[in-house]
Amino acid sequence: ISLCTEQHPLNICFRAPQASQTPTPTHLQNALFGMGNPLLDICAVVDKDFLDKYGLKTNDQILAEEKHKEMFEEIVKKFKVEYHAGGATQNSVKVAQWMIQEPHKVATFFGCIGKDKFGKILKEKAEEAHVEAHYYEQSEEPTGTCAACITGDNRSLVANLAAANCYKKEKHLDLEENWKLVEKAQVYYIAGFFLTVSLESILKVAKHASENNKIFCLNLSAPFICEFFKEALMKVMPYVDILFGNETEAATFAQERGFETEDIEEIAKKAQSLPKENKKRQRIVVFTQGKEGTVMTKGDKVETFPVLKIDQSEIVDTTGAGDAFVGGFLSQLVQDKTFEQCIRAGHYAANVIIRHAGCTFPEKPDFH
């Protein structure tokens, strides 16, 4: 795979915004903290035969197993691939930083990479996106990759975590200079995917947020997280101020929790009323539903917000749409905007990202 990076330069164009006349709010620096699996996305438009061969569903996220090993080689040989810096949480904090533009380094990101070419690419991409990434670098495992197999406007993601799976609380998060960055933040976001890697790291950050009345956000991320990592998920849930997910994840979560309803608004309400540590903040639940409206709990009500219309022909690929929604949402949340404004920004960011390959975007946002 590494040979091909030469022929496929990472075609993401970030240029530093021109200095504006208005002073930038430096208190925003490091205000948003994300921790997760940094992965290099290998994106390709594939055919149904390819999905069938490796037992993949059209709109799913899974972890690579032994049977997928060859798939990573075949996708590069058989299809035209593009490489993009990815990983759900990293995508979201990058989009948030892009939406905010200045100051730089509003977002901090922690995760584990290998000391290799792909790791170097991830470091460069984070820098170009003006995200303050502090990677735990180790040489036992190579940098993680994620195959994004695109068919029509669906994408099937297969993640080979490798190095991402090696994140260690005591080797990185607990270090004084790193923990200082955690303490600096006001808003925390971790995708559920990281539950498979380091529950103790998530709990340390979540408890810090809860004890200091800061905002901790978690994403359900994938049906398999709700199903096979539900114990870890429920250990973190009491600290969750904002819970994100899509309609499929919400349905699986409801099934696993025995909610006995398939109605997304009911599921949101029930998820909202699960036990919570910090009583000063009522939990907010936000479920996206692709082109259908986004559902959000508000007090004892549930509201649905329509998404921006887009012509089918303008959709390049939906990889990163959910991550972009969260990134847009967080960009306003960290600036103390209303939840309605957060959703509007989420819809805007997702609408931009689906017009581009991977989780990439134009130089500047056009959001007011």
Average pLDDT over residues 299-321: 88
The tens digit of pLDDT for each residue in 79-132 reads 999 888 889 999 999 999 999 999 999 999 999 999 999 999 999 989 999 999
Say yes or no to pLDDT of 352 above 90. Answer: yes
| C-alpha separations of 218 from 151, 166, 341 in Å | 28, 21, 19
Instruction: Report the mean per-residue pLDDT for the chain.
Output: 91
- Give me the pLDDT at residue 6, please: 35
Nearest to 348, CA basis, from 319, 326, 363? 326
Say yes or no to pLDDT of 9 above 80. Answer: no
- Give me the pLDDT at residue 25, please: 64
Greatest Cα-to-Cα distance within the chain, rounded to the nearest angstrom? 56
- Going by the DSSP 8-state scheme, the letter that residue 86 receives in this structure is E
- Give me the pLDDT at residue 24, please: 52
Query: 105 CB contacts (<8 Å, ≥6 apart)?
Result: 29, 30, 97, 130, 131, 132
Unique residue bearing structure tokens 């219309």: 309
- Give me the pLDDT at residue 21, please: 40
- Give me the pLDDT at residue 359, please: 67
Say yes or no to pLDDT of 157 above 70. Answer: yes
Say yes or no to pLDDT of 64 above 60. Answer: yes
Query: 146 CB contacts (<8 Å, ≥6 apart)?
Result: 39, 40, 41, 42, 86, 87, 157, 158, 159, 160
- Give me the pLDDT at residue 360, please: 72
- Give me the pLDDT at residue 155, please: 86
- Give me the pLDDT at residue 10, please: 36
Average pLDDT over residues 23-37: 85
Task: Measure the CA–CA gap between 349 and 73, rounded to whole angstroms.
Answer: 32
At 81 the three-state DSSP class reads coil
How far from chain centre, in Å, is Cα 194?
Answer: 10
Task: Measure the CA–CA gap between 368 and 363, rounded to whole angstroms.
Answer: 16
Residue 65 banded pLDDT, cuts 50, 70, 90: very high
Q: Where are the beta strands (DSSP E) in 220-358?
A: 242-246, 284-289, 292-298, 301-305
Task: Measure the CA–CA gap between 158 and 146, rounded to whole angstroms.
Answer: 5
- Give me the pLDDT at residue 79, please: 95
The tens digit of pLDDT for each residue in 173-203 reads 999 999 999 999 999 999 999 999 999 999 9
The tens digit of pLDDT for each residue in 260-281 reads 999 999 999 999 999 999 999 9
- Give me the pLDDT at residue 304, please: 97
Percent of the chain with pLDDT over 70: 92
Average pLDDT over residues 192-215: 98
- Specify the pTM: 0.89
130 Ramachandran zone, left/alpha/beta (phi>0; psi -120 to 50): left
Say yes or no to pLDDT of 145 above 90. Answer: yes
Catalytic site positions: 323
- Give me the pLDDT at residue 60, please: 87
Average pLDDT over residues 150-159: 88
- Give me the pLDDT at residue 323, please: 95
Q: How many CB atoms lie within 10 A of CB 275?
A: 8
Between 134-138, 191-195, 339-343, 362-366, the lowest mean confidence (pLDDT) is in 362-366
**Contact yes or no for 188/214 (Cβ under 8 A):** yes
Peptide bond into 103 cis (omega under 30): yes
Residue 358 banded pLDDT, cuts 50, 70, 90: low
- What amino acid occupies position 240? V
Percent of the chain with pLDDT over 90: 79
Identify the H or E element spanning 177. helix 176-184
How far from chain centre, in Å, is Cα 247?
Answer: 16
Nearest to 60, CA basis, from 249, 194, 230? 249
